[in-house]
Amino acid sequence: AQSVTQLGSHVSVSEGALVLLRCNYSSSVPPYLFWYVQYPNQGLQLLLKYTTGATLVKGINGFEAEFKKSETSFHLTKPSAHMSDAAEYFCAVRLDQGGSEKLVFGKGTKLTVNP
Amino acid sequence: DAGVIQSPRHEVTEMGQEVTLRCKPISGHNSLFWYRQTMMRGLELLIYFNNNVPIDDSGMPEDRFSAKMPNASFSTLKIQPSEPRDSAVYFCASTKTRAEQYFGPGTRLTVT
């Protein structure tokens, strides 16, 4: 069965520092991969997605992620953290198989940005 | 365009009462999902519909939970009777085929 592992339930960075949030997935078929962000007391909002094609995907708010099939990874990065990036981030995978639209989510990584 | 609409945003009820959560998906989307989020268990998929038909309800906790989608623009999640352990934030999301899911703002349910 497909699964998603997010390494580190909490990540803390200084403002202006690199943000790196890790996501590894398991899949026997090419996956669709997503990163969502959740701000306090809000729903999840799509940051970026990988379906096919270019493996480096750019999203909103300066975030990007790279799909690495050999490492089964889809890590999220941002060169310079802003205070407004403090939120919880979820990686998710959907198998493009059997017509299912289900997403499997990781447990989330809470990002703290220190001034 | 309006996003996914959920009501109520907050619900406080007593144990044993019936609770009904409502969701209006984005127009043109053909799949709808109900999720539950808690600190302990994270984000869990409860049930999903495609073209108003329940496709996967394996995440529904028990018979106290039921969901319906009578038409393409409305869905309900009902808990009867409610218990304190049902306290959580319930999200509705919708999507069209092979696209990303769009989430509503959630309903925060507290059962006392």
The pLDDT assigned to A18 comes to 97
Residues of B in contact with A107 (CB under 8 A): 42
Cβ contacts from A onto B, under 8 A: 46
d(CA B22, CA B24): 7
Closest chain A residue to B108, measured at CA: A41
The pLDDT assigned to B44 comes to 92
CA distance B81 to chain A (A): 26
pLDDT at A107 over 80: yes
d(CA B26, CA A3): 28
Give the tens place of pLDDT for each residue, A33-83: 999 999 998 999 999 999 888 889 999 999 999 999 899 999 999 999 999
How many Cβ atoms from other residues are within 10 Å of residue B48's Cβ?
Answer: 27
The pLDDT assigned to A101 comes to 79
Partner residue opposite B42 with nearest CB, options A34, A49, A107: A107
The pLDDT assigned to A54 comes to 86
What's the pLDDT band for A2 if we cut at 50, 70, 90? Answer: confident
Partner residue opposite A102 with nearest CB, options B4, B56, B106: B56
Q: Which residue has the higher pLDDT, A51 or B49?
A: B49
Residue among A110, A95, A114 at smallest CA distance from A34: A95
What's the pLDDT band for A96 if we cut at 50, 70, 90? Answer: low
Query: Which residue out of B41, B43, B89 would a mutagenesis test of the A interface target, given it has the greatest number of A Cβ atoms within 10 Å?
Result: B43
d(CA A36, CA B68): 27
Give the tens place of pLDDT for each residue, A17-34: 999 999 999 877 778 899
Cis peptide leading into A31, omega within 30 of 0?
no
The angle subtended at Cα A85 by Cα A15 and Cα A32, nearest 5°, is: 130
Phi first, then psi, for residue A94 (nearest 5°) are -130, 130
Tell how many helices (H) and how many strands (E) occur in chain A.
0, 11
